[in-house]
Amino acid sequence: MRILVIYATVEGQTREIAGHIERYLKDNQNEAVMIDATHPPESLSIDGIDGVICAGPVHVGTFPAPLRRYVQQHSRELMSRPGVFVSVSLTAAGDEAGEWEELNEITANFSEETGWWPVSVHHAAGALKYTEYDFFRKWMLKRIADKHDAPTDTKHDYEFTDWGALDMFIDGFLKDALAVAGKL
Ligand SMILES: Cc1cc2nc3c(=O)[nH]c(=O)nc-3n(C[C@H](O)[C@H](O)[C@H](O)COP(=O)(O)O)c2cc1C
């Protein structure tokens, strides 16, 4: 299977997640075509692509503009293949029902805006990289973390991503994409 992985990051965690997906795909005899939506190639060829994985982080209630722009520009090609979305957020680290409702709205808004509707969405918990934030971000993230009962000690960084759950999600997608491609 040849899988297109489109991602964007602001603080680096979604790049790590995209890198993990790339390794996982390759370790399981698949090919990965990586696109960083912030520095995309001039053209996109969907020929030979069996499926699409898009990954992006939630920042202040939305996904990064370069990712939204890129997916919107190519929504027709992308919709011609089975696709899934990996949404990265701090909310996904918690179990507050209201916050999850908001998260589902945020991902639905992404699809409304871009015209790209994935067959499923995986909510991956992201990271708090306090030691890398400037003063404003540190202050803002401390407030967000407090709201989510996440750690607020800004002397340390925290990673919440469940790599095993991500692998299971990718496995399920590969099976679905194989079936759609008639390779099962
Ligand atoms: C400025 C800023 C705003 C954020 N806003 C939200 C938010 O609205 N909701 C949420 O669940 N997480 C929010 N987060 C948490 C990020 O989604 C999380 O840190 C993620 O790992 C960032 O991914 P990235 O490193 O790929 O940018 C925010 C993080 C930052 C730095």
CATH number at residue 20: 3.40.50.360
CB atoms within 10 A of CB 131: 10
Same domain, 79 and 121: yes
Q: Calculate how far, in angstroms, residue 100's C-alpha sits from the geometric centre of ligand 1.
A: 14
**Interval between CA 76 and ligand 1 midpoint (Å):** 28
Q: Are residues 172 and 90 in the same domain?
A: yes
Average pLDDT on 171-183 reads 81
Q: Are residues 111 and 147 in the same domain?
A: no
What pLDDT is attached to residue 166? Answer: 98
Residue whose CA is closest, atom 3 of ligand 1? Answer: 59
Whether the predicted pLDDT of 184 surpasses 70: no
Q: Total domain count for the chain? A: 2
Which of 7, 15, 89, 104 for a ligand 1 pocket mutation test, highest count of atoms within 8 Å of Cβ?
89
Same domain for 55 and 78? yes
Residue 73 sits in the same domain as residue 11: yes
Q: pLDDT per residue over 69-83, tens digit each?
A: 999 999 999 999 999
Residues counted in the chain: 184
Ligand 1: nearest atom to the Cα of 128: 19
| Residues in contact with ligand 1 (CB, 6 Å cut-off) | 9-14, 57-61, 88-91, 126-128, 137, 140-141, 144
How do residues 20-61 score in pLDDT, each as one tens digit?
A: 999 999 999 999 999 999 999 999 989 999 999 999 999 999
144 pLDDT above the threshold of 60: yes
Closest residue by Cα to atom 14, ligand 1, is 59
Domain extent for 27: 2-126+162-180
Could you tell me if 87 and 146 lie in one domain?
no
Please check whether residues 64 and 148 belong to one and the same domain. no
> 46 with 16: CB under 8 angstroms?
no
Residues 147 and 114 both lie in one domain = no
Residue 109 has pLDDT above 80, yes or no: yes
pLDDT tens digit string along 147-165? 878 899 999 999 999 999 9
Tell me what pLDDT residue 183 has.
Answer: 65
Is it the case that residue 134 has pLDDT exceeding 70?
yes
Q: What's the rounded mean pLDDT across residues 76-104?
A: 94
Summary mean pLDDT of the chain = 94
pLDDT digits (tens, 9 = 90+) for 110-128: 999 999 999 999 999 999 9
Question: pTM of the entire structure?
Answer: 0.95
State which ligand 1 atom lies nearest to the alpha carbon of 62: 8
Burial class (CB in 10 A: 0-12, 13-18, 19+), 7: buried
Q: How far is the CA of 175 from the centre of ligand 1 (A)?
A: 30
